[in-house]
Amino acid sequence: MSGFSYAGRDFSPYVQAELEEPAAHALEPRALAVPGRPGALLLGCELPPREVRLRLHLDAGSQMTPGELSRLRALLRAWLCAPGGGDLALPGEGALTWRDAVVTGVSDWDTLFEGGSCAVDFTCYDPVAYGAARSCAGTELEVLGTWPTLPAVTLTAAAGSAVKVADDTGRYVLVERGLSAGDEVVMDFASDSVTVGGEDASADVGVGSAFFSLAPGAHVLTFSGCSAHEVTWTERWL
């Protein structure tokens, strides 16, 4: 057991948390009934929100007076009641963070253990965790994690009419517009957007461009129309 944090609050000084979670993600299949075929044709699967349960144990609860326990439980209720959701860092999960998490179930306090324990259910609407932030200023990079990630690319333009980044499968993002030497071009693959000098330039994205993801493993990228570049991304973990 260890502490955890949720919605910007560190619960470690008050509770120890024990993680209870499914062994794997349960997928939501998409299928189509086909005449003359038993069952159905599997078209694909969706990754639904992740459900996790934490069992919370009050630290030194048995040494508190009833009034102190009441105030602590009130504080924890207030911290867990975050209607807008928040980031969730789970015990035993290292530096991984789940985003868009919200409390969707709670149990009563069990007073048999050190003044109190309870179960709290979280639904993580982004079901793939975020790990370490990485960057690379070269052309060869290694993506860690177990799930594809969407990068951001910052290029220092050379004087010309276009900048382009492409991967080793032929996918690319091309920005076609007049550029001065030193213009900063930022391609945000997560939002399918481009800025030049801080101003929106998404209308200048060339036909055939695709804001591609980077799967775990080695990648070779090529850059043109620029004098320098940097690729940044965040590891994603199931």
Identify the pLDDT of residue 219: 96
Q: State pLDDT tens for residues 25-72.
A: 888 999 999 898 898 999 999 999 999 899 988 876 557 777 888 888
Question: Do 163 and 220 fall within a single domain?
Answer: yes
Question: Do 111 and 163 fall within a single domain?
Answer: no
Identify the pLDDT of residue 193: 95
Q: State pLDDT tens for residues 200-212.
A: 999 999 999 999 9
Question: Do 122 and 144 fall within a single domain?
Answer: no
Q: State pLDDT tens for residues 82-138.
A: 999 999 998 777 688 999 999 999 988 876 555 578 899 999 999 999 999 999 999
Question: Do 75 and 188 fall within a single domain?
Answer: no
Question: Do 115 and 147 fall within a single domain?
Answer: no
Question: Do 138 and 202 fall within a single domain?
Answer: yes
Question: Do 159 and 45 fall within a single domain?
Answer: no
The last residue of a domain, from among 84, 111, 127:
127
Mean pLDDT score, 186-200: 95
CATH of the domain at 123: 2.40.30.200
The last residue of a domain, from among 127, 154, 176:
127
Task: State what percent of residues in the chain have pLDDT above 70.
Answer: 96
Question: Do 123 and 163 fall within a single domain?
Answer: no
The last residue of a domain, from among 127, 155, 171:
127
**HEC string for the chain:** CECCEECCEECCCCEEEEEECCCCCCCEEEEECCCCCCCCEEEEEECCCEEEEEEEEECCHHHCCHHHHHHHHHHHHHHHCCCCCEEEECCCCCCCEEEEEEEEEECCCECCCCCCEEEEEEEECCCCEEEEEEEECCCEEEECECECECCEEEEEECCEEEEEEECCCCCEEEEEEEECCCCEEEEECCCCEEEECCEECHHHECCCCCCCCECCEEEECEEECEEEEEEEEEEEEC
Mean pLDDT score, 132-151: 95
Question: Do 49 and 149 fall within a single domain?
Answer: no
Question: Do 150 and 233 fall within a single domain?
Answer: yes
Identify the pLDDT of residue 180: 94
Global pTM value: 0.83
Identify the pLDDT of residue 112: 56
Identify the pLDDT of residue 2: 78
Identify the pLDDT of residue 60: 64
| Number of structural domains found in the chain | 2
Question: Do 159 and 189 fall within a single domain?
Answer: yes
- Residue numbers of the domain that contains 49: 5-127
Q: How confident is the model at residue 216 (pLDDT cuts 50, 70, 90)?
A: very high
